Amino acid sequence: MAVLIALGIAVSLRGIAKDVHFERPLLAQAFTADAGFAASVPLEVVESRALLRAHPSEAPLALGAGLIDDPLLQQRHWEALYPVRLHEAQSGRMLWKAPGPDRTDCTELGRSDRVVLVDCP
């Protein structure tokens, strides 16, 4: 009896898999480390994360104008950039919304379409 039940379940699952166009590679993608990250957060956060990976540092990071002014962007940066330590200073390594800071004493470390990584004294 148990064999018949197991066989019935297997046949049912196979029929469901055909109906929903099940594909093993798509299922495997669901278990990758950053699956869906770029589609689930604002583009500024995706670009910020890429810039920080390209320019790694142990120094704390601050969010500049445009990123800290928007509560959604601020919260998503806090979540997505962990374990990077974020602080509220107006100096040191900072992420700014493009076109970047209007200060002339900052050194640009990296740039993307929406975000600029700078070091300000």
Closest CA to 72 of 97, 108, 107, 52: 97
Would the pLDDT of 117 be above 80?
A: yes
Q: What's residue 57's pLDDT?
A: 87
Can you give the C-alpha Rg of the chain in angstroms? 22
Would the pLDDT of 25 be above 80?
A: no
Please state the rounded mean pLDDT for residues 81-94.
87
pTM here is 0.70
Confidence of residue 13 (pLDDT cuts 50, 70, 90): low
Token pair for 8: 């019935």
Token pair for 71: 């509560």
Closest CA to 76 of 115, 120, 44, 121: 44
**Alpha carbons 40 and 52: distance in angstroms, whole number:** 19
Phi–psi pair at 91, nearest 5 degrees: -145, 170
